Amino acid sequence: MKQSDVPQCIELWKTTGMRIAAFEREKKECLAMLKMNYTSCFVAISDKKIIGSVFGTFNGRRGWIYHLAVHNNWQKKGIGLLLMEKTEQALAKQKVTKIILAVHISNLKVIPFYEKLGYVIMPDALLFEKGLSGNK
């Protein structure tokens, strides 16, 4: 993935119904993630248009998957699988031993996809968030 791909990725996320922040904030945050994790973020392209994306990140302890998305017209064709495989391979090269991802409550239909890839629901964890004032 290149920095210039990020705006098109955000548009892809919108078309797939992904919950995202305001465009400029999302762009700024994704560019920062990409800068720190450029070897594990990928796009799938057809006819010069991004039809799939994934951000794989490593925080020094765990790998995280963010924003796996495949355009609705291209779903169920193996693109999501390919993006996940490339991301897992890239994170493995960084010696990541565990990958974590979150599924938004509005997108539970993707759980079987992740389960087929070997991901399991964490029985002992919930995700929390807190916005920090001044950092919007």
- Residue 19 confidence (pLDDT): 84
> If DSSP codes are grouped into helix, strand and coil, which group holds residue 44?
strand
Domain assignment present for 127: no
Q: Report pLDDT for 21.
A: 78
Q: Return the pLDDT at 73.
A: 96
- pLDDT of residue 136 exceeding 70: no
Q: Is residue 125 part of a domain?
A: no
Widest pairwise Cα distance in the chain: 43
pTM of whole model > 0.75? Answer: yes
Residue that is written with structure tokens 């919108």 in the block: 14
Say if residues 63 and 100 touch (Cβ distance below 8 Å): yes
For residue 128, being part of any structural domain is answered with: no
Q: What is the pLDDT of residue 20?
A: 85
In a domain, 108, yes or no: yes
Q: Residue 39 sits in which domain range?
A: 3-116
Work out how many domains the chain is built from and give that number: 1
Asked if the model's pLDDT at residue 135 lies above 70, the reply is no
134 or 25, higher pLDDT: 25
DSSP 8-class letter at 4 = G
Residue 133, pLDDT above cutoff 80: no
Q: How many CA atoms lie within 13 A of 115 on its CB side?
A: 7
The reply to whether 50 falls in a domain is yes
Answer yes or no: are the C-beta atoms of 56 and 87 closer than 8 Å: yes
pLDDT of residue 132: 86
In a domain, 130, yes or no: no
The tens digit of pLDDT for each residue in 99-124 reads: 999 999 988 999 999 999 999 999 99
Check whether 131 has a pLDDT greater than 90: no
What's the pLDDT band for 84 if we cut at 50, 70, 90? very high
pLDDT digits (tens, 9 = 90+) for 36-70: 999 999 999 999 999 999 999 999 999 999 999 99
CATH number of the domain residue 111 falls in: 3.40.630.30
